[in-house]
C-alpha cells in the first residue's frame, strides 16, 4: 500500500494530511499555515487536481 503526504500546491510543502492510493477527495480544503490561505483540491489515486479558490 502506497502512502504519501498531501502537498500544498503553491509551495509544495507537506500538509498534516496523508493520502493512501485508494482515497478519493473532492473539494477538499487544504489550508496553508505559511500563507494563511485555503485551496480546494480534488485528489484521486495520486493524480492531483487543484482548484484555485481562496477563502
For residue 26, the surrounding DSSP H or E stretch is strand 24-31
Contacts with 41 (C-beta within 8 Å, 6 or more apart), sequence order: 6, 9, 25, 27, 28, 29, 30, 48, 49, 50, 51
- pLDDT band at residue 48 under the 50/70/90 scheme: low
Mean pLDDT of the residues in the chain: 76
What total number of domains does the chain contain? 1
pLDDT over 70 at 39, yes or no: yes
State pLDDT tens for residues 2-25.
788 888 877 788 888 888 877 888
Q: Whole-model pTM? A: 0.61
Residues in the chain, total? 55
C-alpha span between 30 and 17 (Å, rounded): 9
| Domain containing residue 27 | 3-51
C-alpha span between 42 and 55 (Å, rounded): 16
Amino acid at each position: 500500500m502506497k502512502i504519501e503526504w498531501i502537498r500544498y500546491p503553491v509551495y509544495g510543502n507537506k500538509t498534516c494530511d496523508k493520502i493512501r492510493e485508494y482515497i478519493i477527495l473532492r473539494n477538499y480544503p487544504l489550508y496553508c499555515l505559511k500563507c494563511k490561505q485555503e485551496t480546494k483540491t480534488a485528489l484521486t489515486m495520486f493524480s492531483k487536481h487543484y482548484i484555485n479558490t481562496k477563502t
